[in-house]
Amino acid sequence: MANSENGFFDGFGGKYVAEVLRRTLDELEVSFKDAMQDESFLKELETIQRDYIGRETPLLFAETATKILGGAQIYIKLEGLANTGAHKINNAIGQCLLAKRMGKKRIIAETGAGQHGVATAAACAKLGLDCTVYMGEVDVRRQQPNVAAMELYGAKVHAVTSGSRTLKDAVNEAMRDWAANPDTTHYVLGSALGPAPFPDMVREFQSVIGKEVKRQAEERKLDVEALIACCGGGSNSIGFFAPFIDQASPRLIAVEAGGIGPGVGENASRMTGNASRDGIMHGYKSRFLLDEDGQALPTRSISAGLDYCGIGPQLASLGKKGRIEFTSARDEEALNALKFFAKNEGVLFAMESAHAGAEAIRLAPTLPKNKAIIINMSGRGDKDVFITSPVFRHDAWLEFLHAEIERLESDKDIHDAKIMN
Ligand SMILES: *Cc1c(COP(=O)(O)O)cnc(C)c1O
């Protein structure tokens, strides 16, 4: 499925890391290739995908949405039904199983909004591995529900206080930890980026999405015109697209965060934006939003998972070649799409996935009725109640939060319950 050549995808990718990590990455590459040839490993992976993650996830015909938009048939891959609520668990489980096979008992991970941290913490709990998650101090403060979940799963959340105290500092800290503890520790990277072999490895573990979709579409004899996925680092999109990359069709459409507009700092459009350039960061070469000195520019998106300043190297390469079409959806369009599919299909998209939904709403009416388009709903929207409620029902939400604070400060029962724990 379109593997890299020695870690490169037409010049993007590579292993731009400190010398000390070179051997660790080489060993990981060998172990990964070996595991993917090992029937018993693949069997174990398949079993845990079925029983723990809940695969396969359904492919839903969005009948009402299709009728309203009056064009192509819309299908939704309900990846948000995976245990923990999003696709990230596919990669976390895959890498943790691999780490176990390599005899590593300690897992570290970086996380921004906390979604990857939650998936990794859950995978470690399931597989009996020790877990430390690096998270910028600013993010720890902003993303308490995810921090709470990670701690429930038994992970240690390490608040990073260097730099801007956000995702990129968490990545740097995780890399430092790995370089210091390569023999005991595996670093579970959260998207289809970073130094080789991560882009190949993450794609392979996420390709279960695309393999299922291919089978499901064939069973229903769909004439698939396009696959649509949102694109942050690129793991859900590349996993969804993987089995189709080497074919001429269907069209593969990746949707970046358009934020509030086209200006620098107003979006996270690495492929479609005007501040995009080639660069090297976090161990790989790709397209990034960088200033003239090569420093990361600020990004903006209503969705917590689409605002990283870089994109996976294989996506950058396939975008340059034209096999993947890149577009973007603004915050407002994503919010409208979220509302549209909730009301008409009873499916609540994650804010990230709603960007793909927005593109489907634009595209479907332009296509004939015998064609199908498939949206990957990478996650479900329960996690976004703190983002959507202030937008859709601001005053009632504010009142609720005030009441919650009052309740916490006054309710003796809660204190007693805490002591009992
Ligand atoms: C993290 C996340 C994304 C973005 O990450 P990719 O690596 O681009 O897939 C998209 N959707 C959801 C639900 C996420 O949690």
Residue 82 · residue 377 · CB < 8 Å: no
* Cα(372)–Cα(59) distance, integer angstroms: 12
Q: What is the mean pLDDT of residues 130-138?
A: 97
Instruction: Considering the candidates 29, 56, 79, 88, report the single residue annotated as catalytic.
Output: 88
Is 369 among the catalytic positions? no
How many residues are there in the chain?
421
Q: Count Cα atoms within 13 angstroms, Cβ side, for 291.
A: 7
Task: Report how far ligand 1's centroid is from the alpha carbon of 418 (Å).
Answer: 34
Task: Report how far ligand 1's centroid is from the alpha carbon of 303 (Å).
Answer: 9
Can you say whether residue 312 is alpha, beta or left, with left for phi > 0 and alpha for psi between -120 and 50 degrees?
Answer: beta
What is the reported pLDDT for 2? 86
Average of per-residue pLDDT values in the chain: 96
Closest residue CA from atom 1 of ligand 1: 305
Q: Of ligand 1's atoms, which has the minimum distance to the CA of residue 239?
A: 9
User: Tens digit of pLDDT for each residue in 346-361?
Assistant: 999 999 999 999 999 9
Candidate from 73-77, 189-193, 414-418 with smallest mean pLDDT: 414-418
Do the bridges between strand 59-61 and strand 73-77 make them parallel or antiparallel, or are there none, so unpaired? antiparallel
Q: What is the mean pLDDT of residues 376-386?
A: 96
* Cα(188)–Cα(142) distance, integer angstroms: 23
- Asked whether the bond before 58 is cis by omega within 30 degrees of 0, the reply is no
User: Tens digit of pLDDT for each residue in 74-130?
Assistant: 999 999 999 999 999 999 999 999 999 999 999 999 999 999 999 999 999 999 999
Task: Report how far ligand 1's centroid is from the alpha carbon of 334 (Å).
Answer: 14
Is residue 370's pLDDT more than 90? yes
For the chain, the first-to-last Cα distance in angstroms comes to: 49
**Closest to 171 measured CA to CA, from 283, 86, 264:** 283
User: Tens digit of pLDDT for each residue in 231-255?
Assistant: 999 999 999 999 999 999 999 999 9
What is the reported pLDDT for 421? 54
Q: What is the mean pLDDT of residues 365-393?
A: 97
What is the reported pLDDT for 98? 98
What is the reported pLDDT for 274? 82
Strand order in the sheet with 276-281: 8-9, 12-13, 284-289, 276-281
Q: What is the mean pLDDT of residues 283-309?
A: 93
User: Tens digit of pLDDT for each residue in 148-183?
Assistant: 999 999 999 999 999 889 898 999 999 999 999 999
Mutate to test the pocket of ligand 1, among 78, 79, 88, 118 (most ligand atoms within 8 A of CB): 88
Task: Report how far ligand 1's centroid is from the alpha carbon of 19 (Å).
Answer: 30
Can you say whether residue 196 is alpha, beta or left, with left for phi > 0 and alpha for psi between -120 and 50 degrees?
Answer: beta
What is the reported pLDDT for 1? 62
What is the reported pLDDT for 275? 86
What is the reported pLDDT for 152? 98
Q: What is the mean pLDDT of residues 321-330?
A: 98
Q: What is the mean pLDDT of residues 256-282?
A: 94
SS (H, E, C) 146-193: HHHHHHHCCCEEEEECCCCCCHHHHHHHHHHHHHHCCCCEEEECCCCC
Instruction: Considering the candidates 191, 301, 328, 378, report the single residue annotated as catalytic.
Output: 378
Question: Is 224 a pocket residue for ligand 1 (Cβ < 6 Å)?
Answer: no
**Closest to 168 measured CA to CA, from 270, 262, 277, 307:** 307
User: Tens digit of pLDDT for each residue in 208-232?
Assistant: 999 999 999 999 999 999 999 999 9
Is 339 among the catalytic positions? no
Task: Report how far ligand 1's centroid is from the alpha carbon of 402 (Å).
Answer: 31
Instruction: Considering the candidates 29, 56, 79, 110, report the single residue annotated as catalytic.
Output: 110
What is the reported pLDDT for 85? 97
* Phi/psi of residue 21, nearest 5 degrees: -90, -10
Closest residue CA from atom 5 of ligand 1: 232
What is the reported pLDDT for 343? 98
Do the bridges between strand 372-376 and strand 73-77 make them parallel or antiparallel, or are there none, so unpaired? parallel
* Cα(82)–Cα(89) distance, integer angstroms: 8
Question: Is 379 a pocket residue for ligand 1 (Cβ < 6 Å)?
Answer: yes
Share of the chain above pLDDT 70, in %: 97
Distances in Å between the alpha carbon of 250 and those of 217, 226, 298, 371? 12, 5, 34, 11
